[in-house]
Structure 1
Amino acid sequence: MPQDKPDLRNLSEPVRFKRALTLLLMTLILPGSAQIAAGSKRAGRWAWRVIAGIVAIVVFLVVLSLIWRAGAINLMVSPTTLRIIQVLLIVLALGWAALFVDAYRLGRPLTLERKHRLTASILDGVLVFVVVGALVWASTIVSTQRDFVASVFGNGEKSEADKGRYNVLLLGGDSGADRIGTRPDSITLASVDANTGRTVLIGLPRNMARVPFPAGTPLNKQFPDGFRWKDCAENCLLNGVYQYAAEHKQLFPGDPDPGVTATKQAVEGITGLKVNYHVLIDLAGFRDLLNAVGGITLDVGKRVPIGGIGAPIKGYIEPGANQHLDGYHALWFARSRAGATDYERMTRQKCVMTAMLNQLSPQKVLTKFQGIAKASKRVVNTDIPSGELGTFTDLALDAKKLPVSSFSAVPPLIRTGNPDFDLIRTKVAEAIGKSEALDKGTGGGDGKETNTPSKPTTTTTKKPSTPAKPGKSSTPSKPGNDVEDVASICKA
């Protein structure tokens, strides 16, 4: 049995017990300090160097995030960075555990009374379990993040902002065997100011007919007068573009996803805006994503049926302010059509998007990240490259502080059966102009240069129709189709 050092022999047993506990707590608070005080100073100094290195990295990231937040986020979500962090966390866990074991040895447990030795042993075991467990759990989170980034975001080509804006096409479709997104039921273009994050949601009805395609695109050559063909029945609508392109892949040689490409081009032809990226969401899986974040809270202005339209109504979402909806009910709130028009549903979908933007804080995403990542891998498909994650996360954080405006190309202003696309493009440009005007003279509050409003581009649409006159449309206008703050119409 190892002998006590001379300076410990005259200490009473209670003092030796307190000393043993102190060494363990010193290792918890400042790893290596127990070794500096009572053991191998060389080992203690190495531990302190590691701590100093970690502190330096954290300080660097904090400073970088203050100077260039998007760059800091891009660095932290890089698969290479995440792999390095994952390995370092495991090494740190093993090293810290070794320091706890050594601190326990330095406490001379064999010189303690049985009950004190048992207490020190239990405390050492608990500290090793807690610290190592926390670091291993953190390593698991990092591994999940790395897998999430690799699975959802690819190495696609970066698309530069057009006229100072990023335009991201948000598509929602029902799930099913080989069916995800083949007939998008929700089509929204989010136009985001590249400096301020101020966002305009442009809603496009799925039943819009004769949609144009930009000159030079494959479908413009097929349909120079707009998307329609002989005996097309109900398929010659905006939400049928995806399926048509998927079934005619020869028009898009080498394109892995012609359906998305064609839909993006159709939206460009309708709005006059360049579409930078797309995000396609399986609406059925969207329920799991909302459950992963604990649901959302929003106002329900009227009774919303669950089910209907070819199926029995299974219940209702009752009206009221501050209704907390889980994934199942939030999904039905967004997609229910029974007793309502597509245009009313579009408004509800914008309310859900706005609620998610405002309520998904970085803290909530971090604490529920594993569930979010697991659900997102099943429901999200996007061509946003992983290298742009920082840019869009940065913009999303800015957008949370600002109202979201909206324009929807719906009756009575726009007749979906025979739309006036010149009018749509004019209204889109006006909505963006109004949004950007809110930042003029202030630089968006960041001292950044303000962009000029996007101008509508020329398309090959022929013989535009005239807009429907008020009172002549079979579908009544719905509040919220042209507003400067979506939140203002998402009220009970």
Structure 2
Amino acid sequence: MSRPPAPPELDAEESVYLSGRPDRRLADPELMGPRMRRRRAFSLILLTLVFPGSAQLAAGNRTLGRVAVRCWLGLWVLAFLSGMLFLVHRTAFLGLFGRSWFLTVLQWGLWGFAALWGVLFLDAWRLGQPGRLVIQARRWLTGLTAGLLVVTSGGLVYAASSVGAGKDALNSLFTGKRAVAATDGRYNILLLGADSGKSRVGTRPDSIQLASVDAETGRAVMFGFSRDMENINFRPGSVMQRLMPEGWNCGDQCLLNGIYTWAENHRAEFPPGTQNPGVLATREAVEAVSGLDVHYYVMVDLKGFQRMVNAVGGLDVTVQRRTPIGGETSPISGWIEPGRQHLDGFHALWYARSRTGSTNYDRMARQRCVMTALVDQVDPQTVLTRFQKIAAASSGMVHTDLPQSELGYFADLAMKTRSQKIKSVNFVPPLIKPWDYDANFVRQQVAATIAASEKSKAGTKTPAAKASRSSTGSSGSGSGGSGSGAKSGSGKSGGTSAATPRQGGAGPQGPVQVRGQAAEADLASVCSAS
């Protein structure tokens, strides 16, 4: 029978080390030789990285170690609970990050743990007694400690700073005070792309869109309205109907986007406490044209668009038509060529603004394109790595009346929307003539598009079966209440019906066929977001 192999012989250094008391082997380097002291020093640093406080429990101040270990375990418990909350109630989880008090607590917590981890690393380095190591090992130990300090404590400090920037942006952007219930199970959000360039007097929305989103599933349809729409008669009982009983109908001087400037120049005529007359007037105009209640608005000003694009690292778009940089009042200094392009802020802004050699509808389509690209390409990784730049760029660029209390819900709804295809119908030629159109036809197209979207979702529910957030009452926009489906209402917002060609005998009494394909061609013909 063969004998088992003999255990390896220990050298003198290891024999002395192992002969010491087990609870003092790491604590007392006097029992070690040079090699074991080096191993001990690096072990203490790595223990601090993997399990903060364990180095102090093994070789240092055990009170400090116990505090650190409890904090570390508590952090993992919080992470576990957060993960469970995200899985069980994602809206509540996301809503926490829309609360200033939570961000304040999170910021201070990150600062506190950054300081504690830094102290633990420095103490572990001290416990390693670098003065008793050979010079090369001492340098490696010091370099490793410094590097881990930057990665751990430095990373937490950066995270705390980003949370602070996010809190400041949150407080400056989301100033709405009142939450509004959905109408017939849908939220209708007005999206305005405004331009207040140096060559323009005041701010005017060039891109006017209305997103109608199912409050439960996130399935959305998008309606685009030409900024050149004329002859708008407001809903009875609305603020603008009181100010303009005959409607906004003075020809070329009374376009849909011009009502914003008119309202801003006549602030005194609006009810006391009206903070943004231009948005109110535009909102009620879109409500009159579409037949939908507008619950919230989001306005993006192109004057800050350049900063935002640079903050996210540029936009990828596929340009269909050669677009000049400059023109009109300044010479053309360059071109944005057809094909797949990565646009920085300067070129993205010019692509959105350029007028020379194109129509207003081309320009509107390009603006929608770059806005779509911005939304599609800002993923969580981009937000995390460029958060401070994005937060700084958003200041002064985005305006909205969404309240902070609703951010969690709408963030969750946006995640659902992004995972689905969005149907888009744009009320521009050839679908309608903005200067001579049948308002009832527009509302019927809106209603038919929403109805088609409702039918296409799995497990269609009636409005009464929607989430409890829904309400059949008015939206609180101050314009009177209508359902989320378009209503023809009384009177017309546009010209005669003969000006608008129809398919399939569509009319006030007949079936309406959605003709969004023709209206969508203007966007596909100038660019595509990718």
TM range (shorter): 0.7 to 0.9
Matching residue of 2:256: 238
| TM-score normalized with structure 2 length | 0.82
Deviation per CA, 1:397-452: give whole Å up to 9, x if none. 22222112111112233221132111111111112222222214378xxx988x99
Choose the corresponding residue for 1:465, options 478, 496, 501.
Answer: 496
Give the secondary-structure state (helix, strand or coil) at the position aligned to 1:154: strand
Identity of paired residues, percent?
A: 44
1:181 is displaced (CA, Å) by 6.6
CA distance in 2, matches of 1:441, 1:338: 49
CA distance in 1, matches of 2:77, 2:281: 49
CA RMSD in angstroms, aligned pairs only? 3.1
Matching residue of 1:68: 89
CA distance in 2, matches of 1:109, 1:303: 65
Matching residue of 1:280: 299
1:327 is displaced (CA, Å) by 2.2
Conserved 8 A contact 1:70-1:391: yes
Give the secondary-structure state (helix, strand or coil) at the position aligned to 2:428: coil
Matching residue of 2:485: 455
Deviation per CA, 1:241-293: give whole Å up to 9, x if none. 11222222223221111111111111101101111111111112112211211
AA matched with 1:223: M
- 1:323 pairs with 2:353: no
- 1:226 pairs with 2:247: yes
| TM-score normalized with structure 1 length | 0.88
Matching residue of 1:78: 99
Using a 3 Å threshold, how does the CA distance of structure 1 residues 10 and 288 change in structure 2: closer, same or farther?
Answer: closer
Choose the corresponding residue for 2:55, options 17, 34, 37.
Answer: 34
- 1:194 pairs with 2:215: yes
1:222 is displaced (CA, Å) by 3.0
Using a 3 Å threshold, how does the CA distance of structure 1 residues 12 and 352 change in structure 2: closer, same or farther?
Answer: same
The structure whose Rg is larger is: 2
Choose the corresponding residue for 2:320, options 297, 301, 316.
Answer: 301
Conserved 8 A contact 1:479-1:489: no
Choose the corresponding residue for 1:346, options 364, 367, 385.
Answer: 364
CA distance in 2, matches of 1:489, 1:305: 13
Deviation per CA, 1:164-220: give whole Å up to 9, x if none. 222111112222589897322221112222222222221111111111212111221
Choose the corresponding residue for 2:442, options 418, 424, 434.
Answer: 424
- 1:43 pairs with 2:64: yes
CA distance in 2, matches of 1:395, 1:481: 29
Matches within 5 A, 1:273-422: 273-320=292-339, 322-422=340-440
Give the secondary-structure state (helix, strand or coil) at the position aligned to 2:171: helix
Matching residue of 2:75: 54
1:313 is displaced (CA, Å) by 3.1
Using a 3 Å threshold, how does the CA distance of structure 1 residues 70 and 176 change in structure 2: closer, same or farther?
Answer: same
AA matched with 2:304: G
Conserved 8 A contact 2:302-2:349: yes
Give the secondary-structure state (helix, strand or coil) at the position aligned to 1:441: coil
CA distance in 2, matches of 1:424, 1:42: 73
CA distance in 1, matches of 2:382, 2:429: 38
1:128 is displaced (CA, Å) by 2.7
Task: Tell me which moved more, 461-470 or 133-142.
Answer: 461-470
**Uncovered stretches (5+) of structure 1, i.e. residues with no partner:** 472-477
Give the secondary-structure state (helix, strand or coil) at the position aligned to 2:341: strand
Task: Tell me which moved more, 246-255 or 118-127.
Answer: 118-127
1:40 is displaced (CA, Å) by 2.9
Give the secondary-structure state (helix, strand or coil) at the position aligned to 2:497: coil
CA distance in 2, matches of 1:300, 1:20: 59
AA matched with 2:286: V
1:485 is displaced (CA, Å) by 13
- 1:144 pairs with 2:165: yes
Matching residue of 2:506: none
Matching residue of 2:278: 259
Give the secondary-structure state (helix, strand or coil) at the position aligned to 1:126: helix
Task: Tell me which moved more, 218-227 or 132-141.
Answer: 218-227
AA matched with 2:84: V
Conserved 8 A contact 1:421-1:464: yes
1:117 is displaced (CA, Å) by 3.5
Using a 3 Å threshold, how does the CA distance of structure 1 residues 413 and 486 change in structure 2: closer, same or farther?
Answer: closer
Matching residue of 2:42: 21
Give the secondary-structure state (helix, strand or coil) at the position aligned to 2:389: helix
Conserved 8 A contact 2:45-2:121: yes
Conserved 8 A contact 2:261-2:278: yes
Matching residue of 1:172: 193
